[in-house]
Chains A and B, each alone.
Chain A
Amino acid sequence: MFEEIGTTAEGDLQINVGPQHPATHGVLHLVLTLNGETIKKVEPHLGYIHRSIEKMCESLTYRQFSYVTSRMDYLSSHINNNACALIVEKGLQVDVPERAKVIRVIIDELTRIASHELWWGAMAMDLGAFTPFFHAFRERETINEIMEETCGARLTMNYIVPGGLMMDIHPNFQKKVKSFIQLFRSKFDEYNELVTGNIIFQNRMKGVGVLSPEDAISYGCTGPAARGSGVKCDIRKLYPYEIYDKVQFDEVLETGCDSFARYMVRLKEMLESIKIIEQLIDNIPEGEFQAKTKAVLKLPKGEFYQRVETARGELGVYIVSEGGTTPYRIKYRSPGFSNLSALDHMARGSKLGDLIAMMGTLDLVIPDIDR
């Protein structure tokens, strides 16, 4: 395939987008077949950042393997760790204290907001607007400071562990989260002023990258990519884990099916996450932050599956256990891989410049696709 780059038999132009294209957030390599400026085919070439995480997890114990998953979708690292913790707890039938569950949900939703903030800034930068990036990172920095104080790191925290949490929350946690909620609510209108209402932005997003609900389902799209097409797929609503069945929030659905709809889903999801945090932040129950577990964890023989809703969609963890201290086989179903598979379908027939808008609204995190 690489040798043929240039022109095809029909006289179409083949060009590479990536691996080091500034518009890609990782190292994704797209081979485009172009007729003039019209896209005929998009072929993603993967594997530039493959670290064989699934195989690596087979040699790590059940306490150790979850820290690796922070490196998959590094923007929703807490949610990945939560999935690993949940599946081990399911296998061992451990009851996690209520306090740990509430803190997990708060931390997960903070992660989701931080992830969507970064997506918002980076996507606007892909489309040529530089200012939004700094606005997004200003609010994201506040979340990072909260994480740094409570979890001890800013990106790969390894805070949610099987059995509960690594350590208790910092005494300042509640105060800081409350001041973040206030800050976020006061700054949120700026996002709409700067980007959403902008006529250039709207013209570049509306009617671009149309993905019908049927196609979204058949390509296995999840998360905001599918909810922008009106497909109900929020795992927090469909298969509630932790305490998501006890909090009030709406699943954000848009029916525009285009890039603008996916954009609006993510913006509104940030407000829904704020709503969840507001309900929980004053009601963190007292008690232990970790259940009592054995020093060496051994999952019983069998198969286990757990899914969670990350910032990008459905993450599934599948473990086959032989009864030992390490898993026999681990499989991760990452949301980014399935969402990327719909890109070819969306891009066919549209212009080259629109491809960047489509990739932006799919919110691709390449380490999550490659693993």
Chain B
Amino acid sequence: MFITNYIKNVFGAVKSLAVGMKRTGYYFTHHKEIITEQYPDNRDTLVLADRFKGEVVMPHNENNEHRCTGCTACELACPNGTIKVVTKFDITPEGKKKKAVDKLVYHLELCTMCNLCVVACPSDAIKMAPTFEHSVFDRSQLTKVLNQPGSKIMDGVE
């Protein structure tokens, strides 16, 4: 009885190892099932999901106009103090003072890509861009001003 059990155990053990080796052998001979991304080499063909949260950007149209009103909703929504809105007062043609954005300072080094600022924005002025290669030589380059120089607010955005 002991001998038969012993032999059964030995053969069962060898069989279990053979089953596992068969599986690894299958992948050894079937290269098509390998799914590794060859990242730096496939940079040209790499497509990221359009929702991918890489960094906050402010889209501008061809007339260098953006949709930001300078309401600071994004600054209040940010949990890390990533966004700082510097406002100024524009003089409208009627001669009234109107609050507008001077600089929207964005600290990429503090950002956790939580998307709360994009959701909070009432005028859809900012969005997440699918970029991910953010390495620079100096950390001061990570602080960005999102509105382009000389840009102004789009007509009809309040």
Using CB atoms and an 8 Å cutoff, list the residues of chain A in contact with chain B. Answer: 60, 63-65, 67-68, 131, 138, 141, 145, 148-153, 156, 158, 161, 166-167, 170, 190, 193-195, 197-200, 202
Contacts and interface: CB of A to CB of B under 8 A. Distances in A.
B23 A194 contact: yes
Nearest to A166: B115
Contact of B51 (A63, A64, A167, A190): A167
B56 interface: no
Interface residues of B, number: 24
B112 interface: yes
B77 A63 contact: yes
Given A152-B115, A153-B113, A158-B115, A193 B19 contact: yes
Given A63-B116, A152-B115, A193-B23, A198 B52 contact: no
Interface of B: 12-13, 16-17, 19-20, 22-24, 35, 48-49, 51-53, 77, 79, 112-116, 119, 128
A67 B79 contact: yes
B20 A152 contact: no
B52 A64 contact: no
Contact of B13 (A131, A167, A195, A199): A199
A209 to B, nearest CB: 22
A60 B24 CA distance: 50
A63 B119 CA distance: 11
Contact of A68 (B12, B23, B79): B79
A195 B48 CA distance: 34
B17 A199 contact: yes
Contacts of A60: 79
Given A138-B35, A149-B51, A194 B114 contact: no
B57 to A, nearest CB: 14
A151 B51 contact: yes
A197 B19 contact: yes
Contacts of B116: 63-64, 67, 158
Contacts of B16: 197-199, 202
28 contacts: A60-B79, A64-B79, A67-B112, A67-B114, A68-B79, A145-B49, A148-B51, A149-B49, A149-B51, A151-B51, A152-B49, A152-B51, A152-B52, A152-B115, A152-B128, A153-B53, A153-B113, A156-B112, A158-B115, A166-B115, A193-B20, A193-B22, A194-B23, A194-B24, A195-B20, A197-B16, A198-B16, A200-B17
